[in-house]
Structure 1
Amino acid sequence: KNVQLVACGISPTVMPKNVKSEHVGNPVRKDVLSRAGAPYIPPGDHPMSIFVMGGSQGAKILSNIVPEAISCLPEEILNFIRVFQQARDEDCQRVELYYSNNGIKCDVRPFFDDVASYLSEAQLIISRSGASSVADIGVIGRPSILIPLESAVRDEQTLNAYPLKKSQAATVIAEHNLSVKRLSNAIRKILSSPERASKMAANARKTVTIEATKRLADRVEEISGYPVT
């Protein structure tokens, strides 16, 4: 009750009565910001990249379903695909073996150092919808399929995904609805339509505030009276 202002990363954010709030956006890392609005190469008859992010520790459900969903794609798409997938340590070998056995080029790791680079080079991103992941996808501007974490206490990942879904920049699949067939169809619809994919990429860029870091710092300085260095 002593807070003067709540800075919100996602809009709309429901606030308690009489609490002042402002949408400033989610700050992103410098390496992501340096690729803001990087040109998007739509899917086609050329090498394509799918980047799969599962959050800070990977996501077992993505390791279980994404490889099979991708293997179900038609050959005219599969022939050009390379998958970069984040997975838990204990899942990496299994996931990599599945891709290899199905003739799909892949790079499976517990962690990718240069996430911004993989995001900017991807034709499609499959991801959880944590606040930072959603912000990164929007700043760089890429089509995405988002699977919100169902166990989140306030279902905040569904709320995080809402701006991208509303702007037709992402396909959102609830975790309890996720299946190999549903995910494979969603991937196919995007990668078989360069026009649709390009529109999703452009729409993603409209959902974020590029100057979120500056706006947040300005409010801190304004309220505290101290400069942010």
Structure 2
Amino acid sequence: MTRVRQFVLAAGGTGGHMVPAAALAEELKRRGHRVDLISDERGVRFPGLFEGVETHVLPAGRVQGGPIGWYRAGRAMWAGRAQAIELYRELKPAAVIGFGGYPALPALMAAFNQDIPTAVHEQNAVLGRVNRLVAGKVDAIATSYGKVERLADKYRDKVTLTGNPVRDEVLALRDKPYPLLEEDGIFRVLVTGGSQGASVLSSVVPDGLAMLPVQFRRRLQVTHQARVEDIEKARAKYAELQIAADLATYLPDLPDHLAWAHLVIARAGASTIAELTAAGRPAILVPLPTATDDHQTDNAREIAEAGGARVIAQSQFTPVELAKQMQKLGLDPEALTNAAARARSCGHPDAARDLADLVENISNPAGDMPVGEAQPETPGGGKVAYA
């Protein structure tokens, strides 16, 4: 008989944390389990994710701003921990899984207090701050890369390489061929800075594309995700340069754009890399230099070494350099197709399945109930916010 377990996922409110958490939630639900989410206000409002999942907002301060900021963060964390303990007494979770970000910390602290099995998933090639804080206490650490910086050797026995789960719509692209690129056909470019956009892409990409040979430039069809404050200036620039471009501040149908893209110009966030390698799309990557521990540079290393992407440091990301790299890729259809295959070779298509297997294996079966048996309701129903 199939048994139902209750899982709690805890994640910070950025796309890098929320997307893999949502992919795991869908896989666990497919297996018949119940799933609740703990996040911040950004996370529970993230568009297109966690439909049908009970969501909870708990206090979680960010450790910054000197002694006063640390004190306030500590108070918020402790309040969040207390409220998570109260929530767990109602839900009786079989396991709590953290995806990084400060909102995950009170949820994990409460799980430690209640002796609930725990795991963390690290999306980046450098172990994040919250995951470093809890690495010694969790039961399992799932990683997206075979080599993860800042992960102490003493924790290696609890590490499992699962990869970084992506949305089903992106994973489906893996079974579709790379779009045919004819020498005189349309060349489709997707420009994306992640969920928040990237100003440097808006300022450099139009001018870089304008430096391409005329015959190549006339073939371009660009989809560009830009920040709100940058979009009108970038739109005007593309129009001035007579480059066909569609711009938006958010791309809810990103998998559709990724499906037809011949080349992606992007940051090197964890979800971006996971989607490129799942779908098999070549890229020019510009790591965010201010990312914690420079983790985006580490994220890009594997796909670059495999030949699936070219990496340009932001300090060297100029229109001239972009145009040079574009010509190396775009004027040789065979090279571009090979780069797509090399990007695909770095993917982990079974990441959601493997991560779900891991959390099932560490979870506590004491609360199992047969499918169809009455299950406890989340207090209040729907989204639950604790002040």
TM-score w.r.t. the length of structure 2 is: 0.57
Structure 1 residues 203 and 37, CA gap change in structure 2 (3 angstroms) = farther
One-letter amino acid matched to 1:78? R
Contact 1:46-1:80 within 8 A present in 2 as well: yes
Structure 1 residues 37 and 181, CA gap change in structure 2 (3 angstroms) = farther
Structure 1 position 107 matched with structure 2 position 246: yes
Moved more, 126-135 or 32-41: 32-41
Structure 2 counterpart of 1:67, from 200, 206, 210: 206
Q: CA deviation at 1:69?
A: 0.2
After the TM superposition, list the runs of 4 or more consecutive aligned residues in structure 1 that deviate by more than 3 angstroms.
Answer: none
Q: Please give the root-mean-square deviation of Cα atoms over the aligned residues, in Å.
A: 1.4
Counterpart secondary structure, 1:96: helix
Structure 1 position 192 matched with structure 2 position 192: no
State the alpha-carbon separation in 2 of the partners of residues 43 and 122 from structure 1.
Answer: 14
State the alpha-carbon separation in 2 of the partners of residues 43 and 129 from structure 1.
Answer: 28
* Alignment correspondent of 1:130: 269
One-letter amino acid matched to 1:5? A
Counterpart secondary structure, 1:129: coil
State the alpha-carbon separation in 2 of the partners of residues 82 and 97 from structure 1.
Answer: 16
Contact 1:69-1:180 within 8 A present in 2 as well: yes
* Alignment correspondent of 1:154: 293
* Alignment correspondent of 1:81: 220
* Alignment correspondent of 1:16: 152
Once the two structures are superposed, residues 165-217 of structure 1 have per-residue CA deviations (whole angstroms, 9 ceiling, x without a partner) of 01000000111121111111111111001111000000111101100000000
Contact 1:58-1:86 within 8 A present in 2 as well: yes
Q: CA deviation at 1:103?
A: 1.1
Structure 1 counterpart of 2:194, from 51, 55, 59: 55
Count of paired positions: 228
State the alpha-carbon separation in 1 of the partners of residues 137 and 337 from structure 2.
Answer: 45
State the alpha-carbon separation in 2 of the partners of residues 58 and 43 from structure 1.
Answer: 30
State the alpha-carbon separation in 1 of the partners of residues 276 and 302 from structure 2.
Answer: 12
One-letter amino acid matched to 2:169? D
TM-score w.r.t. the length of structure 1 is: 0.96
Counterpart secondary structure, 2:328: helix
Counterpart secondary structure, 1:68: helix
Counterpart secondary structure, 2:154: coil
One-letter amino acid matched to 2:166? V
Segments of 5+ residues of structure 1 without an aligned counterpart are none
Counterpart secondary structure, 1:90: coil
State the alpha-carbon separation in 1 of the partners of residues 294 and 190 from structure 2.
Answer: 24
Structure 1 position 25 matched with structure 2 position 158: no
One-letter amino acid matched to 2:252? D
Structure with higher Rg: it is 2
State the alpha-carbon separation in 1 of the partners of residues 296 and 356 from structure 2.
Answer: 25
One-letter amino acid matched to 1:25? G
Q: CA deviation at 1:30?
A: 1.2
Counterpart secondary structure, 2:246: strand
